[in-house]
Structure 1
């Protein structure tokens, strides 16, 4: 990185943190700190909700996901607009009428304290883990690519977030997220148009789409009912709807964003805005990844995008074998270029099959390289990430963008990490204070006491997130890892809320027992890979509703028998 990149990067981040801290300093009470004084307008709510979900993982992993697997991942988000409508009609009016600070307060009103506490703890577990990952994701990749110390990066990201989140609470989070989203959208649009401009002169955007289509990257919709396919229209519409309902309707990191709205109408408009923009935004980010794929059809790429993996293999006994694979990669690359140019000139569909075969050879060669890297890492008894999806986009940024813009795109990644982490810490602290500390541990204190407690819990969760980030390990793909963690817990939590809303005959004890049984079954099901993780949301929701209803019916039957 050049001096100009450092100036842009540090200037952007410090301006956002400084402005957010200064503008929102001095919360007078818990209401101001947790709900921002209920002053947020609909566009602030919409951007804040979007920024909370669109973490650095989105902007690092999603382009890499598209580079490898194409546009099909967009189906994951098909349930979001449906979920937004349901939340606007059911959840928001109820939360507003009850004047709750957290989503879980409602559960005590409907059931009892232990059900509220259990659901809050399920949230704290999964969101606490996710907060660590949202810090770790950009840190591990930037450390590998730029040579920065991983733990120092974890600390820098965590400390920057803690500063303004402790200082200003929800208002600071929402205000900084507006600026962060502006930086993110600006950076991604610039990157997209630069990628198009870097393609050969005879390759227009339309031709680039043709090349991507011939390579199987533009297969957006999959209507199959095959459970082996992780992303289909049905998994998106059904599993995705249940995941989005759980996330936006019951996850405090999102609920807190729209509970800060001035009115029910502002909250609803903010969520509808998010629902309308979410799928196009994810489509665009995936399209950026597809264009990166097309770019590397005309420009040579490393056989593995993770520089740490490449360094490991080149300093091992397998270096010559790896170089042989690199030579094979060059042959495949040249062959693909000839096929693609012939296809563009003639539009002969026969070339599509040949391009697919060339891409298959490319993938097999890259997989062979991963096997060698794993062997080298095992020999040295070290851990190296062989799956390089998350490194594709950052590799393109650092090796192809002009000076200054590299700093801007790195600011995009770090801004996204900070925006998501801030929302998570804010929600974790609020839930800890209102659902556990104030309700069950230290009762009947004044407002100032609980305001300070919330700030201290924000600091504590921030430190814990940094610790989790420092001991985390990469999964197959970071964006999938976050969604897998959510899917393990969200279905159960959503089922509890649906029982509260619609199953009036079910009482507290039945729900509490059903939730414990369901969570155990879901964890076992995930561990033994019973189904694609998206379906765990529907499965968990169905289980807890079924178990709770059955337990309640059995209890009533026993009471009738006993009374006789």
Structure 2
């Protein structure tokens, strides 16, 4: 199962096209706002699609179908990850993103300096840089293993291709290149998923045969029998409540996500991008979960397919079932298109990360902590250099995680949940209270981490989605208590808390967003009912 010359031609032309696009988009790039925020002239639709492209990583489009089709205890329960998304978007649209957008910041951690102090900003920024760079290095490793297997090239060449191409178009084109390339990559990726579904259904014998051949017990999408305090991660209650805190933290406090939302033309466009993400994300996830149904049904009719999967630790690697299916059953040329989709998913995860790492290094370390000043030209040049630096770090790091990557990949959700709650707690202390100060915020962050680590090590029956809520609550309560025990905030907080921002918010919006909040809430209920009736 090797790629044909035509397939390689399609892949190479696509990669060259990404570089050409970035060169075209870099025209007129004059300063940091152009580079990091795309000149604030990007509409809501591209930003929403770009955000979903980053979420739809290679791990998702390979791992989710494998979970649905083959994993013990798996199935459509994967959809429970999505139940809290519409409600998280409502919270973000009301409390967080409009305030950030109003302040005109590039790094989301700049808000913490304005609200608390430089130390709080630096701690959260460094924490983001460490976690995101480490996680991205592991992600590049895992993706490169898949690409190497599917294309027949060496692991080293796969890492270099993925890293170098992404670094080139990201460093040249900045955020505008990230967003536009993500939109293209999302279209290509979704087309590849649909193409795979159609061929799998045809090879299985049609729609009805596909549904009938799939194990119906795996179609259950809600687990209402457990609460997540018994070690079962796929509990509706844990995934909904813990997932709400997870998504608010990820979309509202993680620079790799927030930076795109800050690139809009207006505050209304920021909210519109969040609204679109809240509506469109579930159909996307449902599509690649249904791909798992199609692959599972095909294998039930053609069990010999399992023999084509590579063996790892004495068992077939089901995560490669989709690319192996493509390599074996797709016509020449179509294979290349699907491999482009695989590269697209990988690059869309990497490009936004290295751009956001560059932004936080530039804004939070060089300009804020070190108090350096630059001309517009110098700042733009250094921003590009930092993008190349972080891209190189993440790429090189992929060569050194081979011995730990498997365990880390398995634990990535746990690592994220260890940090997400306490980080969100710090931001909520600033946005929802007037009395909280930097001492309380940092102390709450540290204790939130410690408490979550205790749950991880000593109380494993409390499943990881709950840690997002627990860490946030511990951080928030600790921060408030210590803030009241120490001196109050001395600097002006006008416009930095939700209560003060709310007084001017009516003049900032041209759209009455209350009906959109209702639409998202109703959409969340529709998603629940759909999953309940599967």
- Using structure 2 for the length normalisation, give the TM-score: 0.85
Q: Does 1:61 align with 2:66?
A: no
Spell out the pairing of 1:395-406 with structure 2 (5 A cutoff).
Answer: 395-406=324-335
Aligned length: 478
Q: Does 1:417 align with 2:418?
A: no
Following TM superposition, by how much is the alpha carbon of 1:162 offset from its aligned partner in structure 2, in angstroms?
0.4
In structure 1, the residue matched to 2:463 is 532
Spell out the pairing of 1:161-240 with structure 2 (5 A cutoff).
Answer: 161-200=166-205, 204-214=206-216, 216-227=217-228, 228-240=231-243
Spell out the pairing of 1:86-235 with structure 2 (5 A cutoff).
Answer: 86-200=91-205, 204-214=206-216, 216-227=217-228, 228-235=231-238
* C-alpha separation in 2, matches of 1:442 and 1:212: 61
8 Å contact from structure 1 (residues 60, 413) kept in 2: no
Spell out the pairing of 1:378-389 with structure 2 (5 A cutoff).
Answer: 388-389=317-318
In structure 2, the residue matched to 1:441 is 370
Q: Does 1:391 align with 2:393?
A: no
Following TM superposition, by how much is the alpha carbon of 1:486 offset from its aligned partner in structure 2, in angstroms?
2.1
Following TM superposition, by how much is the alpha carbon of 1:482 offset from its aligned partner in structure 2, in angstroms?
4.0
Following TM superposition, by how much is the alpha carbon of 1:72 offset from its aligned partner in structure 2, in angstroms?
0.4
Match of 1:475, SS state, is helix
Q: Which entry has the higher C-alpha Rg, 1 or 2?
A: 1
In structure 1, the residue matched to 2:526 is none
* C-alpha separation in 1, matches of 2:181 and 2:22: 5
Following TM superposition, by how much is the alpha carbon of 1:523 offset from its aligned partner in structure 2, in angstroms?
3.5
In structure 1, the residue matched to 2:9 is 7
Following TM superposition, by how much is the alpha carbon of 1:469 offset from its aligned partner in structure 2, in angstroms?
1.6
* C-alpha separation in 2, matches of 1:21 and 1:237: 43
Q: Does 1:24 align with 2:29?
A: no
Equivalent of 1:469 in 398, 401, 404: 398
8 Å contact from structure 2 (residues 19, 169) kept in 1: yes
Structure 1 stretch displaced more, 4-13 or 73-82? 4-13
- Using structure 1 for the length normalisation, give the TM-score: 0.81
Q: CA RMSD in A?
A: 2.1
Per the alignment, do residues 387 and 489 of structure 1 end up closer, same or farther by CA in structure 2, a change over 3 Å counting?
farther
Per the alignment, do residues 290 and 32 of structure 1 end up closer, same or farther by CA in structure 2, a change over 3 Å counting?
same
Per the alignment, do residues 205 and 232 of structure 1 end up closer, same or farther by CA in structure 2, a change over 3 Å counting?
farther
* C-alpha separation in 1, matches of 2:201 and 2:14: 26
Per the alignment, do residues 532 and 288 of structure 1 end up closer, same or farther by CA in structure 2, a change over 3 Å counting?
same
* C-alpha separation in 2, matches of 1:80 and 1:476: 27
* C-alpha separation in 2, matches of 1:537 and 1:50: 21
* C-alpha separation in 2, matches of 1:88 and 1:553: 29
Following TM superposition, by how much is the alpha carbon of 1:21 offset from its aligned partner in structure 2, in angstroms?
2.8
8 Å contact from structure 2 (residues 421, 468) kept in 1: yes
Equivalent of 1:494 in 398, 414, 424: 424
Match of 2:219, SS state, is coil
Following TM superposition, by how much is the alpha carbon of 1:60 offset from its aligned partner in structure 2, in angstroms?
1.8
Structure 1 stretch displaced more, 299-308 or 406-415? 299-308
Match of 1:421, SS state, is helix
Following TM superposition, by how much is the alpha carbon of 1:146 offset from its aligned partner in structure 2, in angstroms?
4.0
* C-alpha separation in 2, matches of 1:306 and 1:522: 37
Per the alignment, do residues 158 and 25 of structure 1 end up closer, same or farther by CA in structure 2, a change over 3 Å counting?
farther
Superposed CA deviations along residues 174-231 of structure 1, whole A, max 9, x for unmatched, are 111111111111111111111111113xxx42342233243x2201111123322212
8 Å contact from structure 2 (residues 102, 267) kept in 1: no
* C-alpha separation in 1, matches of 2:449 and 2:222: 32
Equivalent of 1:291 in 283, 291, 294: 294
In structure 1, the residue matched to 2:271 is 268
Gaps (5+ residues) in structure 2?
489-534
Match of 2:303, SS state, is coil
8 Å contact from structure 1 (residues 25, 167) kept in 2: no
Match of 1:217, SS state, is helix
8 Å contact from structure 1 (residues 154, 466) kept in 2: yes
8 Å contact from structure 1 (residues 79, 238) kept in 2: yes
Q: Does 1:46 align with 2:56?
A: no
* C-alpha separation in 2, matches of 1:530 and 1:387: 29
Structure 1 stretch displaced more, 167-176 or 4-13? 4-13
